[in-house]
């Protein structure tokens, strides 16, 4: 995840209140007079000032309502019980039995440890997010902070007394990256024991090669890397074939032409796609037709249908979990259960999920099925579409087969060859200067302060926190070619980013360019409308560095502290970025074709959700009923009112 505000602390456990007893107490004669006094005071009558319920004035307890006072006492008792239980677990040495964090040390070891001074520091780090559930510490998940904290303890930078709880060290992160997202430079601030000169080397010795500590810098005592950060730089790497138009036979390819003609926009649409207009006709003629011509007449029609129609996904909840996940579409709750949602700040509470876990996916929720799995899925779809068709596993072809029986190995070989031909054609694509300039035009529309309620999760249009400021968003001058695939680097500089914001910004820009969309659609997405924007694969996203200019020029200088500067570690960072981030991104894409899977699924999603990309505009997304197993899928009142993304 890109950054978002920190999750609010969980509320304490509240003991149940006997409502019947409370009601009887209030109605008893001896309490009637007291109740009237409370009512008068709240209404501003008689003595005392008018107070709002729950006021936090100088005399808090006197300002409380009756039930609120009882609740606070219950909360306090609950906290005390939990602290008592925690101390007992620590004494027994089993406080973190199921946690990824270090276990609490026995009391005798804690008492015997030499007390050493802790210093407030900024720890400059880099990491590859592959295989991690994000940056933020989670005792039940493998996270970057979790591995860092464990390394701090192992290296002696955190005392045994504080080893069981990161809060004791005042740990704060500058940028809370999402699962699978990388960082060449990030910062955490906390209190560490840094007396030893080789403390950085000791910490790194307890970390995998995917995580590096660049340096540890003393700061002012009040320093918080989250609050002190002025802005952040991110980079997004994307294959240039992501900007190719949808195949003309796909659902989206057909709708783009159909709705452009209906809207009288066909000529303008063709102008927006002029530089790629010949791509698919040439691929079909030069690379696909020879393969189809070589196939047996009994197989050819099935293969053509498999390539051009079966990939299309029907409408309705659960039709394509991958698309529903990347676009944060509302999901139908299981029967008899209540649908879980993120809170109003876009944060996910404990026990809740935003993205549905999809079978055979990587940590980012994108499909990583290999060629064999894709071919098998296509054959299953063929059989589902032709229920009378039988598959024979014989390989030599010496025995004649009936008309209703197909030689499965031959069908598998044909589908595999055609899918590979399409993928090879996409990888061979090289973006033109005209197309690259159009990408830059799309990114320019994000500059300045905009309302990004459609670019995150569960944000209202009227929520002030949905407004974010983008300072620059630039396409690299020259693409690079890695593993026969051309890549573009997109770099964005902004003050702060919400959950999934950058991935949705890239997703919207890429979809608008590849679909020949009028770019004013991006501007419309900042308005009081609902636009379901898919988030591009997290694989391509990395945090370049946070910026601390204000702190460096004011607080650090006044306190005699050195600046927080990644420049002094530039050589090590570049080597790490190339080895652990860039090469990993290129390798994973070569193995899994995540970007191709992402856009292919969207192109073939037979639902009006993404038809705002056509000449029909946002109105086209509401032109058809959205079906679920239980009937129509209508946008709820809360969605219309709140503009949930």
293 flagged as catalytic? no
Binning the chain into helix, strand and coil, the percentages to the nearest 5 are 45, 15, 40
In this structure, are residues 313 and 320 in contact, taking their beta carbons and an 8 Å threshold?
Answer: yes
CA distance 11 to 75: 8
| Residues 304, 306: Cα–Cα separation, whole Å | 5
Query: Which two tokens mark 367?
Result: 């499909």
Query: Which ranges in 93-233 belong to alpha helices (H)?
Result: 107-112, 144-154, 199-205, 225-228
Cα separation, 254 vs 462, in Å, equals: 36
CA distances to 169, 198, 238 from 194, in Å:
13, 9, 40
Identify the three-state secondary structure at position 191. strand
605 is known to lie in a ligand binding site: no
Q: Which residue has the tokens 């004649």?
A: 400
The helix (run of H) or strand (run of E) holding residue 469 is strand 467-475
State both tokens at 620: 């086209």
The kind and range of the H/E element at 224 are: none
Annotated catalytic residue within 147, 164, 178, 265:
178
Residue in this structure with the two tokens 């995840």, named with its chain if needed: 1
Beta bridge partners of 143: none
Q: In a 3-state reduction of DSSP, which class is residue 62?
A: helix
Q: Residue with structure tokens 């996270």?
A: 143
Q: How far is 261 from 282, CA to CA, in rounded Å?
A: 24
Burial 595-621, CB ≥16 within 10 A → b, else e? bbbbbbbbbbbbbbbbbbbbbbbbebb
Q: Looking at the DSSP assignment, which residues form a beta bridge with residue 494?
A: 232, 470
Q: What residues are labeled active site?
A: 178
Which residues does the annotation place in the binding site?
A: 234
Which residues does the annotation place in the binding site for substrate?
A: 234
């Amino acid at each position: 995840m890109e950054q978002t505000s920190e999750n609010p602390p969980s509320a304490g456990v509240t003991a149940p209140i006997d409502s019947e007893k409370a009601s009887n107490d209030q109605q008893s004669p001896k309490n009637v007079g007291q109740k009237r006094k409370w009512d008068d005071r709240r209404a501003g009558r008689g003595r005392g000032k008018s107070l709002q319920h729950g006021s936090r004035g100088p005399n808090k307890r006197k300002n409380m309502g009756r039930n609120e006072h009882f609740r606070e006492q219950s909360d306090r008792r609950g906290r005390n019980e939990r602290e008592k239980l925690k101390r007992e677990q620590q004494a027994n040495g089993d406080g973190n039995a199921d946690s990824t964090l270090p276990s609490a040390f026995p009391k005798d070891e804690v008492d015997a440890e030499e007390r050493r001074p802790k210093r407030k520091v900024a720890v400059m780090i880099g990491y590859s997010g592959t295989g991690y559930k994000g940056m933020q510490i989670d005792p039940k998940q493998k996270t970057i902070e979790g591995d860092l904290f464990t390394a701090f303890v192992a290296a002696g930078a955190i005392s045994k007394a504080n080893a069981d709880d990161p809060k004791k060290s005042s740990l704060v992160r500058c940028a809370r990256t999402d699962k699978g997202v990388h960082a060449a430079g990030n910062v955490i601030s906390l209190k560490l024991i840094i007396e030893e000169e080789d403390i950085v080397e000791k910490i790194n010795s307890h970390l995998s090669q995917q995580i590096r500590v660049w340096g540890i810098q003393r700061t002012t005592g009040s320093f918080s890397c989250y609050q002190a950060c002025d802005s952040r730089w991110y980079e997004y790497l994307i294959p240039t074939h992501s900007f190719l138009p949808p195949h003309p036979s796909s659902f989206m390819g057909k709708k783009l032409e159909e709705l452009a003609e209906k809207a009288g926009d066909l000529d303008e649409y063709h102008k927006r796609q002029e530089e790629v207009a010949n791509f698919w006709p040439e691929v079909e003629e030069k690379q696909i037709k020879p393969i189809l011509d070589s196939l047996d007449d009994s197989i050819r029609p099935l293969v053509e249908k498999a390539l051009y129609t079966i990939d299309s996904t029907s409408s309705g909840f659960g039709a394509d979990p991958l698309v529903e996940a990347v676009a944060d579409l509302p999901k139908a709750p299981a029967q008899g259960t209540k649908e879980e949602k993120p809170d109003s700040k876009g944060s996910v509470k404990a026990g809740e999920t935003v993205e549905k876990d999809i079978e055979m996916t990587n940590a980012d929720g994108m499909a990583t099925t290999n060629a064999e799995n894709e071919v098998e899925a296509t054959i299953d779809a063929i059989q589902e579409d032709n229920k009378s068709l039988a598959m024979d596993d014989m390989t030599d072809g010496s025995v004649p087969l009936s008309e209703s029986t197909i030689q499965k190995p031959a069908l598998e070989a044909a589908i595999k060859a055609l899918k590979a031909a399409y993928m090879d054609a996409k990888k061979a694509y090289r973006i033109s200067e005209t197309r690259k300039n159009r990408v830059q035009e799309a990114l320019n529309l994000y500059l300045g302060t905009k309302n990004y309620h459609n670019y995150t999760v569960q944000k209202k249009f009227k929520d002030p926190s949905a407004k974010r400021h983008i300072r620059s968003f630039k396409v690299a001058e020259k693409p690079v070619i890695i593993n026969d695939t051309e890549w573009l680097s997109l770099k964005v500089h902004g003050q702060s980013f919400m959950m999934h914001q950058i991935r949705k910004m890239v997703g919207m820009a890429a979809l608008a360019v590849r679909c020949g969309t009028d770019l004013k659609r991006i501007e419309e997405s900042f308005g009081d409308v609902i636009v379901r924007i898919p988030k591009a694969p997290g694989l391509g996203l990395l945090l370049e560095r946070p910026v601390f200019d204000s702190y460096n020029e004011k607080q650090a200088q006044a306190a005699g502290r050195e600046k927080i500067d990644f420049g002094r570690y530039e050589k090590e960072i570049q080597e790490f970025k190339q080895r652990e981030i860039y090469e990993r991104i290129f390798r994973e894409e070569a193995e899994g074709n995540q970007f191709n899977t992402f856009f292919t699924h969207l192109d073939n999603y037979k639902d009006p959700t993404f038809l705002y990309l056509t000449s029909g505009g946002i109105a086209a997304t509401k032109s058809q009923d959205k079906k679920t197993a239980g009937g129509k899928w209508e946008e709820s009142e809360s969605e219309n009112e709140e503009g949930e993304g």
